Amino acid sequence: HEFDLVITNGVCVTAGDVAPYDIGIKDGRIHLLAPSGSLNRANSARIIDAEGAYVTPGGVDCHVHLEEPALFGRGSSSDTYETGTRSAIAGGCTTIVTFAPQNKVEPSLLKALANTHIKARGNSYCDYGFHIMVGNPSEQALSEMKTLVENEGVTSIKIYMTYTALQLRDDQILSVLLKARQTRMLTMIHAENGDVLNWLTDQLESQNLVAPKFHSSSRPPILETEATNRAIALSSLISNTPILIVHVSEPGATLRIRQAQTNGQPIFAETCPQYLFLTRDDLDAPGLEGAKCVCSPPPRDKASQDAIWTGLSNGTFTVLSSDHCPFNYEDAERGKKTCITVAHPAGRFREIPNGIPGVETRLPLVFSSGRLPLTKFVEVSSTGPAKLYGLYPRKGALLPGVSDADLVVWYPEARRPDIVVSNAMLHHATDYTPYEGREVANWPRYTVLRGKVVWDRDDGGVLGQKTFGQFVKRGPSLLGRIWETVDEQGEFDVAGL
Ligand code: DUC
Ligand code: ZN
Ligand code: ZN
Ligand code: ZN
């Protein structure tokens, strides 16, 4: 056989166009795109008839938290690499980038990386890479960044402007950005003003306003706008080093990012389904139910949702990620219910671990929404992240001879099942989904990882194994378009010095 697998009668959607092609797959790669119906059974070991359905590149989710220690409150992650990546493929996602966390007392980034490799290796259903979460920008940590890029295939870091375990001061952020500029690392920034939200939390607590809904009051939009603006300012001081503002939730930050982009600055932005589908009213559910939607930044109002949709449409956001950061609900020690204490029997929002599950629901929710052209859907959920994080064109594309055969075959219009999201149908190890009861118009029917069918919704479900996923070494961001700018000495210039 010329091919190991052929997908026939599909309509291929890439970030560029929508067109009917048969796809010939060999040795785990896209080998050939051919006119629809032209590749037949005779020249392939296996054939999948897409029956006219859309076929997209596998999803790329570059914001996933798995098996991290308690960093975002008292709880700890309800998903392991095994369960989180199983959930990913069942939702059409074939590559994730997770975090290798360095805590404040650990000076080495390479050690954080090694520890995370041990957790993921042999335990991943999908391909994976790592960002280093920098909690302690020590001399040693900064000096290791070159090694990460040159030898380890790790080309991005994440830093925080909030969370006691992770928050960096502005001078620390500048030191990190300077080193990132010199080593061509992309810096992801969690932009919320931690000092302000801690102060507001104390104020709310002093008035005994501690129910889950006050999580939202403790983090008003202006505090995200301010931190986003500050992050952009800090980047501009370091010769406009490229940064990515993660999980943008509100119009103020979105507008500030858009202005910086218009100004030619390499400011990239991410948003997540929770800012498209949830609102602050979901935090005000009866009892402690609102804790299920506690994440940071919090879901906002309807007008903010619309602004975020607009930002996706107009290109302000390069990536749509899940920020999968799961905690069980019914767990008094490690989950959302750690916030119930003798003093606060109805729960105390300060103690609710921040984060929600979403790696499996990301693609179906957005594909089904009808609010984005399909090419834009592929751009923000696969191609854009692959380019931004140095995975392209191996990931995020259907380029013959070049791209891995990572694909999602959706259901054809005529055979769409009625799907109501319920936690029982998901493959994570978390005991709830914030999207319970929501109807979606489509779901990945097949997920293909490097030519292997790892998910067949109608026949066997998860067919992949936790040994199939491979670590992917990444190159420098393809969107960091000013990497080449150096001064006469070949050094990067720091503006104003
Ligand atoms: N926000 C969350 O909701 N969870 C993980 C970390 C974060 O920033
Ligand atoms: Zn050939
Ligand atoms: Zn974050
Ligand atoms: Zn996160």
Is residue 47 within a helix (H) or strand (E), and if so which, with residue range?
Answer: strand 47-49
pLDDT score for 497: 46
3-class state of residue 298 by DSSP: coil
Q: Is the pLDDT of residue 189 over 50?
A: yes
* For residues 325-339, average pLDDT: 96
Helix, strand, or coil here: 74?
coil
Which tokens in the block code for residue 479?
A: 């969107």
Taking the centre of ligand 1 as the mean of its atom positions, its distance from the CA of residue 354, in whole angstroms, is 5
Its ipTM equals: 0.93
Residue 48 clears pLDDT 50, i.e. is over it: yes
Does residue 484 carry a pLDDT above 90?
no
Q: Whose CA is nearest to atom 5 of ligand 1?
A: 355
State the Cα–Cα distance between residues 273 and 48, nearest whole angstrom. Answer: 30
Q: Using CA atoms of 144, 146, 148, 151 in order, give the dihedral in degrees to the nearest 10.
A: -120
Convert the pLDDT of each residue in 344-381 to its tens digit. 998 999 999 999 999 999 999 999 999 999 999 999 99
Give the chain's end-to-end CA distance (angstroms, integer): 63
Report helix angle 251-262 to 221-237, nearest 10: 20
Ligand 1 probe mutation, 215, 270, 325, most atoms within 8 A of CB:
325
Do residues 87 and 360 touch, judged by C-beta distance below 8 A? Answer: yes
**Among all chains, which residue has been given the structure tokens 């999580």?**
215
75 band by pLDDT with thresholds 50, 70 and 90: confident
Residue 496 has pLDDT above 60, yes or no: no
pLDDT at 493: 52
- Checking if the pLDDT of 326 tops 60, the result is yes
Residue 223 CA to ligand 3 centre (angstroms): 14
Say whether pLDDT at 101 is over 70. Answer: yes
Considering every ligand atom shown, identify the ligand nearest to the alpha carbon of residue 44 and give its number: 2
Pocket of ligand 1 (CB under 6 A): 65, 72, 190, 295-296, 323, 325, 354-355
Task: Look at residue 492 and tell me whether its pLDDT is greater than 70.
Answer: no
pLDDT band per the 50, 70, 90 thresholds, residue 1:
confident
Mean per-residue pLDDT of the chain: 95
The tens digit of pLDDT for each residue in 426-467 reads: 999 999 999 999 999 999 999 999 999 999 999 999 999 999
Distance 60 CA to ligand 2 centre (A): 27
Confidence check: pLDDT of 494 > 90: no
The confidence band for 125, taking pLDDT boundaries of 50, 70 and 90, is very high
- Contact yes or no for 157/189 (Cβ under 8 A): no
pLDDT at 409: 99
Integer Rg of the chain from CA: 22
Nearest to 307 by CA among 224, 411, 404: 224
Ligand 1 mean position to 51 CA, how many Å?
40
Q: What is the pLDDT of residue 41?
A: 77
What is the structure's pLDDT at 184? 93
The reported pLDDT for the residue numbered 272 is: 99
Nearest to 213 by CA among 162, 276, 277, 279: 279
Q: What is the pLDDT of residue 441?
A: 97
**pLDDT value at residue 235:** 97
* pLDDT for the residue 445: 98
pLDDT at position 68, please? 92
Report CA(401)–ligand 2 centroid distance (Å). Answer: 9
Residues 356, 354: Cα–Cα separation, whole Å: 7
Best CA proximity match to 358, nearest among 286, 292, 454: 292
Q: Which of 296, 322, 352 to mutate to test the pocket of ligand 1 (most atoms within 8 A of CB)?
A: 296
Task: Quick: pLDDT tens for 231-247.
Answer: 999 999 998 899 999 99
Give the DSSP H or E segment for 3. none
* pLDDT given at position 34: 96
- Alpha-carbon distance of 474 to 386, in angstroms, equals 9
Alpha-carbon span 465 to 468, nearest angstrom: 6
Tell whether omega for the bond before 357 is within 30 degrees of 0, i.e. cis.
no
Over residues 282-307, the mean pLDDT reads 97
